[in-house]
Amino acid sequence: MPYYHRVMAASQSAQDRRVMPSHFDVIVVGAGISGIGAAYHLQQQCPDRSFTILEGRGDLGGTWDLFRYPGIRSDSDMHTLGYSFRPWTAEKSIADGPSIMEYLRETVAEYDIERHINFNHRVVRAEWNSDRATWTVHALVDDSRVRVLTCNFLFMCSGYYSYRGGHSPDFAGRERFTGTIIHPQQWPEDLDYAGKKVVVIGSGATAVTIVPAMASKAAHVTMLQRSPTWMVARPDIDPVAKRIRSVLPKRLAHPVIRAKNTFFQQFFYKKTRTSPEIVREKLLAGVRAAVGDSIDIDRHFTPTYNPWDQRLCLVPNGDLFAALNNGSASIATDTIESFTETGIQL
C-alpha cells in the first residue's frame, strides 16, 4: 500500500487523530513568491473571502529556500520578478538567494501573511465535485497525518520543481565513480570542494550559476554539456534603474523601472520570433566579444534552435565568460558514454 494511503488509513482508524475538514473560499498551494503574492492580492482585493496557504516545507520561500548551491541567484531582474506592490529597492537587480529570501520575509511580515500559512502541509491529493462546486484537498502534515480541507477555488502556486527530489539521469557506470556526486537540489551545507576538480553536467540556468561560483575555490571546473545553450551577459546592477531612482521618488521610480524592464523583455522576445537570425548573430557576437578566439563558438555556444525556442541563460557581469578566460573553468560539448572510477568517459 502506498505511503500516503497507509497514513490515510491510520489517520481515519484512530479517533483522536481524525481531523475534520475545514472549508475556505480559496486554498493557495505553496508559500513561495507566487503564493505570497496571491495572499497579498486576496487580502487587498477580496477581503470578504477566506483563504489559507498550504506549504509542504517547513519554511516559506519555495525555490529560494530549497536551493543552497553556490552562487544561487535570480536569472531575471527582481524589478519584474518581485512584486508590483512592494518595490525591490536593493542595488542589484540580479539578486542572490539570501537577498530574495530577506525580501520575501519582509513582505510576509509587512502584510501579516504568515498567520495564513500552514507549514509542513504537503498536498498529496485534490478532488473536484461538480455538484457542490468544491475541491476536497488532502494534505500530509509532518509526514504523519492527513488533514482534509475543502475550498471553492484551488490556487496552485507550487512551481515546477519536484521538491521531493530532482531529476537524476541513469548514467552508465555511475556506481564505479569513487568521487562525490552531488545534485544541486540536495546540496550539503558542509561540502568542501576547495582544490578539487569538478565537472558540472548541464548548461542551463543552474549550471551557468554554479560554474563561476565554484571556479573561485575549486582546482578546476568543467561545464559538460550535451548541446549548447543561448547565453547573454548583463550587469547585475541596472544602471538605468539606478539613475531613475536617483531622480524620482520611490513610489514613482518603481513602476517606471518595472514598465521599462517589461517593455524591453517583450520587445526582445518578439524580435526572437520575427527576426531570429538577427538575434542569433547579436547573441553570438556578444559571446565572441566576451571569450575571444580561445573557444570554439560554433561548437560550444551555438545551439541548433533559435533564441527563446528554449530558455535563454543570463550571465551576470559575464562571470562565466571570465572564468573561461582565466582558465579556472572550461567547457566540453559531448555525450556521456559512462562514468569511470576517476571521471567521465565521453
Angle at 64 between CA 61 and CA 68, to 5 degrees: 130
pLDDT at 294: 86
CB 99 within 8 A of CB 92: yes
The per-residue pLDDT for 5 is 54
The β-bridge relationship of strands 344-345 and 338-339 is antiparallel
pLDDT tens sequence across 280-311: 999 999 999 999 988 999 999 999 999 999 99
pLDDT digits (tens, 9 = 90+) for 117-142: 999 999 999 999 999 999 999 999 99
Q: Are 258 and 238 in contact (CB under 8 A)?
A: no
Which pLDDT score is estimated for 16? Answer: 37
- H or E, element range at 330: strand 329-333
DSSP 133-200: TEEEEEEEETTTEEEEEEEEEEEE---SS-TT-------TTGGG--S----GGG--TT---TT-EEEE
Whether 151 shows a pLDDT value over 90: the answer reads yes
pLDDT at residue 18, as a whole number:
46
So what's the pLDDT on residue 199?
98
- Which alpha helices (DSSP H) does 248-318 contain, by range? 250-274, 276-291, 297-300
| Confidence check: pLDDT of 14 > 60 | no
**Closest residue by Cα to residue 286 from 299, 297, 296:** 297
Looking at domain 3-156, its CATH superfamily turns out to be: FAD/NAD(P)-binding domain (3.50.50.60)
Sorted by where each begins, the domain ranges of the chain are: 3-156, 174-234+263-345
Average pLDDT for 258-267: 96
Tens-digit pLDDT profile for residues 167-183 = 889 999 999 999 999 99
- Give 50's pLDDT tier (boundaries 50, 70, 90): very high
Round the average pLDDT of the chain to a whole number and report it: 92
Sign of the dihedral defined by the CA atoms of residues 245, 250, 251, 254, in that order: positive
Note the pLDDT of residue 107: 98
